[in-house]
Chains A and B, each alone.
Chain A
Amino acid sequence: MAQLEIKNVTRRFGDFVALDNVSLNIEAGEFFTLLGPSGCGKTTLLRMIAGFDMPDAGQILLDGKDLADIPPEKRPIHTVFQSYALFPHLTVAQNITFSLRMARNALSEVNARLQQSLDQMRLAGQADKYPHELSGGQKQRVALARALINRPRLLLLDESLAALDAKLREEVQVELINLQRDIGITFVFVTHAQTEALALSHRIAVLNHGRLEQVDEPSKLYGFPGNRFVADFIGHINQLEAQVLESVHSHLHLSVAGLGDIIAPPLPGAIPGQRGVFSIRPEQVRIGMHNELAELKNHFSGTIQSVLYQGDVSVYRVGLADGVTVEALLPNSAPGRAQLFEAGDTVKVGWRHDAGMLFHD
């Protein structure tokens, strides 16, 4: 039995369907992420798990028990809010021990747990400060400490890294992974930032328009997206209109507008004549000056249209025939050279026959 079971949950706001028959199982000790664009229903689902909202249909079970009749203050579930929602009139220590004091724990117990929590979250010198005196990272750690001090069964994180700047966010991501591993509490994280989801999670559920698109491990989600939405939402991907010419056990033979015939990985159930979109990640597309790509089954001539230099990598937009373009991502690791190609260069592009995939319409 999974720790948290979401069974056929539907939620409507007037005519708007925020969640449409969503079912999910979240295992104990898992770092689980709900990922999707804004308005996809992920925050609504999180609020229902916390108890601030109720499903119109379906059930939410924690350790096999239906949560429907349990108000938020009685659920062994705590939330780290997007804005942290630290109490401005209470010190760090008073904020962190809030849940213990509401439950009327003995003072000695409260103080012992506070010390432990302050040490664990590296807040030792901050106990008597007020939230407005803290940095963004410290506020985030206080919010985490406050939500974790009475060891909830489940910790919900609502876009909890969004308020941090990029550099700090990376540090906090690592801290969050280590913290979750050390304490073993199940984390349910909500975000619209796909890189964050990929970096943090054991498993990710992708939501769109209130429907569950795919639930999988980060590498599976990125490498084998189940549909066009997931492929496009997680990372970047080239999308080319294609038609199936031949479908056999070992490969697909496709006709792509502007490119001609290509060889693609097999797709069970594909039949000749079917139309769809051939998708391939930019880092799977290679670029060469001469004929070094000739051994690849899929290779074409093109012209570099633009270069986006990003430091560690560069993104090249290559124009092929009939106005079709593909993006290629190349590392800038060649010593002494800022970039390998320049706009206007005539180049060869190509990819392996087992790269990319077809999503049929």
Chain B
Amino acid sequence: MTKPYNSEARLGKYLVGGPPFLFLLLMFAAPAVITVIASLSYPGEFGGLAPLVARDPGTLHGVTLETYRFFFSDFIYIEIFLKSVLMASATTLFCLSLAYPLALLIARSPKKRRDRLVLLVILPFASNFLIRIYAWMIVLGPQSALSRLINGILSLFGLAPVHLLFSSFAVLIALVYVHLPFMVLPLYTNLEKHDPSLLDAAQDLGANAWQRFWRVTFPLSLPGVFAGTALVFIPALGMFAIPEILGGTGDMLIGNLIKEQFLVTRDWPFGATLSIMLTIAVLMIAWLTAKLGARRYV
């Protein structure tokens, strides 16, 4: 009696779970393996990869750790890595400090208004990502009202004018701008679920507004803080479009370096190595976030 039911249930499980599993296998696991292999290969003569097994034993072929040695031998690559981590960290911090008050405000506004405010937060997604980045070129350009205002104020104090565009400042401002909703949404989702009677209880027991925030609201929102941090930090670390468009020559980040290896220098093995290094960095950060964000309570 139970047997046909069981096999039916198993078939159902395969039918439901199979397609996404296959998709991940083909689109995630397989490329990851290919990237690892590419990082261990020699570069091809005209770009691409040299074959692992060559027909003609005279040509370059086989497996090598040369790209990894190269990565660690020159400090400039590690420096770009550190600079990217720094930029992503700054982006995350600015996003957190802007998003927290906003998320709190939305979570504590009347229920009817909340959905409309959340809609406003995600409204920028309605327009194309690149168009929004190019818009910053106009906002930060030398003839823009903002540039003229800042340089006008600087000249009042006898200071030299600054270029806002093509600078680390422009990169940071756009990184924060693009990633802000990814911080607001997990924070809001967390704060919205807080039981208001906990704040009443804290106040009843003598906690002032400052204590109520730091002793109750903030610790309870930590899962949201960690989720938002991961959602902002990880994409910000690998971002290449923003530094490409708004950054100066010295603002190359790890994402740009990888793109360069594949499309300009055509050194695929080194590009693959850099990708793997980035993946390792991201996995470490994700692991750390999960560890720190693990809750001891339900």
Contact = CB atoms under 8 A, between A and B. Distances in A.
A87 B297 CA distance: 10
A354 interface: no
Contact of A99 (B198, B206, B297, B298): B206
Interface stretch (A75-83, A254-262, A283-291): A75-83
Nearest to A129: B297
Nearest to B194: A88
B202 A89 contact: no
Given A85-B195, A88-B298, A132-B298, A98 B202 contact: yes
Contacts of A98: 202, 205, 207, 215
A322 to B, nearest CB: 53
Interface in B43-64: none
Interface in B201-255: 201-208, 211, 215-216, 219-220
Contact of B198 (A50, A52, A79, A85): A85
A203 interface: no
Contacts, number: 68
Contacts of B202: 87, 98, 102
Interface centre among B195, B206, B215, B297 (most CB of A within 10 A): B206
B260 interface: no
Interface centre among B201, B216, B297 (most CB of A within 10 A): B201
A73 B211 CA distance: 11
A300 interface: no
B197 interface: yes
Given A81-B197, A130-B296, A89 B204 contact: no
A153 interface: no
B297 A89 contact: yes
A44 to B, nearest CB: 14
B79 interface: no
Given A73-B207, A85-B195, A102-B206, A131 B297 contact: yes
A50 B208 CA distance: 15
A72 B219 contact: no
Contacts of A147: 204-205
B191 to A, nearest CB: 14
Interface string A229-247: 0000000000000000000
Given A85-B201, A89-B297, 10 more contacts: A50-B204, A72-B200, A98-B202, A98-B205, A98-B207, A99-B205, A102-B207, A102-B211, A130-B296, A146-B205
Instruction: For the complex of A and B, list the 4 residue pairs with the smallest distance between their C-beta atoms, beginning with the closest.
Output: A85-B201, A99-B205, A85-B197, A102-B206
30 contacts: A50-B204, A72-B200, A72-B203, A72-B204, A73-B205, A73-B207, A73-B208, A77-B204, A78-B204, A81-B197, A81-B201, A83-B195, A85-B195, A86-B201, A87-B201, A87-B216, A89-B219, A89-B220, A89-B295, A89-B297, A98-B207, A99-B205, A102-B206, A102-B208, A130-B297, A130-B298, A132-B298, A146-B205, A147-B205, A150-B206
